């Protein structure tokens, strides 16, 4: 909740800075200030109505771009109406050739499509555009990783695997370590249990985040259990007892394996 509020404040500060740099008439300036005041008062619907009125006056394209972006932010961040938000981010691409705004709008479309509307077809298009952008963008590593994640979410396993391998080819890539986990997850989803475990072993050699280590060990134990390697599964589950957040689930797994091992010995 606190983070959401911070995001809303940042969005307001962010767009206000853009408007301050604009050169427009006193009448237009007054209307924009009115819309910003509605945002400050958290009267988001009124702010949207005010911006829509400004658009009806057909302001210059540089003003339209910033209004479209602000409308997208209001619908997405403040109102959670993500499909409407995407509509306005798309409008930006119709009225400008500015790389700054083309990238910013595509980032928002990709993020919303991936995280909120779960439209992986649209998300793939957005992150592919960002990956292929020339010159290479500062956040290229993130876009490439998100594109690979998108393929995985869409069950496009071959494409995902190829993209994660590209990431693994560079130890300087920001998501180099994560790529080992993701390839493990890919194989886990495909029920290639041994390959999943092998990838996660490599991931555990490189990861330092304790929460990530615990979660990965749980998944590895699950894979071992599925392969009927019960001793390995039991030992891994036991190793994270007291660290895995759902103690009941972990205890149930341990009890189940214990009884299965006892049955085998009879």
Identify the CATH number of the domain in which residue 64 sits.
Answer: 1.25.40
**Residue 241 is inside which H or E element, if any?**
none
Residue 110 domain flag = no
Q: At how many degrees (to 10) do helices 26-40 and 2-20 cross?
A: 170
Residue 89 domain flag = yes
Q: What Rg do the C-alpha atoms of the chain give, in angstroms? A: 24
Q: What's the pLDDT at 262?
A: 82
Two structure tokens written together for 123: 């998300």
Residue 200 domain flag = no
Q: What's the pLDDT at 4?
A: 46
Residue 16 domain flag = yes
Full DSSP string of 173-219: STTHHHHHHHHHHHHHHTT-HHHHHHHHHHHHHH---HHHHHHHHHH
Q: What's the pLDDT at 3?
A: 45
Average pLDDT, rounded, for the chain: 92
- Mean pLDDT to the nearest integer, 209-233: 97
Q: Within 13 Å and on the Cβ side, how many CA atoms surround 66?
A: 22
Q: Which domain holds residue 29?
A: 1-96
pLDDT at 163 over 60: yes
- Specify the number of domains making up the chain: 1
pLDDT at 2 over 50: no
Residue 248 domain flag = no
Helices (H), the chain: 2-20, 26-40, 44-56, 61-73, 82-95, 99-115, 120-132, 140-153, 157-168, 176-189, 193-206, 210-226, 230-239, 247-265
Q: How many CB atoms lie within 10 A of CB 41?
A: 10
Using alpha carbons, list the distances in angstroms from residue 87 to 63, 118, 150, 224.
17, 16, 21, 46
pLDDT at 234 over 90: yes
């Amino acid at each position: 909740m606190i983070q959401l509020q911070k995001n809303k404040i940042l969005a307001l500060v962010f767009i206000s800075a853009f408007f301050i740099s604009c050169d427009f008439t006193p009448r237009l300036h007054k209307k924009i200030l009115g819309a910003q005041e509605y945002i400050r008062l958290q009267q988001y619907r009124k702010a949207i109505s005010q911006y829509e009125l400004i658009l009806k006056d057909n302001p210059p394209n540089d003003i339209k771009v910033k209004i479209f972006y602000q409308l997208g932010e209001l619908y997405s961040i403040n109102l959670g109406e993500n499909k409407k938000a995407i509509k306005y981010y798309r409008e930006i691409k119709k009225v400008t050739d500015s790389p700054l705004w083309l990238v910013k709008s595509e980032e928002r479309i990709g993020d919303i499509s991936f995280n909120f509307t779960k439209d992986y077809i649209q998300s793939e298009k957005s992150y592919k555009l960002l990956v292929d952008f020339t010159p290479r963008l500062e956040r290229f590593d993130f876009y490439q990783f998100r594109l690979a994640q998108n393929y995985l979410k869409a069950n496009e396993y071959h494409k995902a695997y190829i993209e994660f391998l590209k990431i693994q080819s560079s130890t300087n890539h920001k998501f180099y370590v994560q790529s080992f986990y993701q390839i493990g997850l890919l194989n886990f989803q495909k029920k290639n249990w041994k390959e999943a475990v092998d990838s996660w072993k490599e991931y555990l050699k490189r990861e330092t985040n304790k929460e990530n280590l615990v979660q990965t060990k749980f998944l590895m134990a699950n894979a071992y259990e599925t392969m009927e390697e019960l001793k390995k599964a039991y030992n891994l589950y036991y190793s994270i007892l007291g660290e895995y957040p759902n103690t009941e689930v972990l205890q149930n797994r341990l009890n189940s394996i214990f009884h299965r091992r006892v049955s085998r010995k009879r």
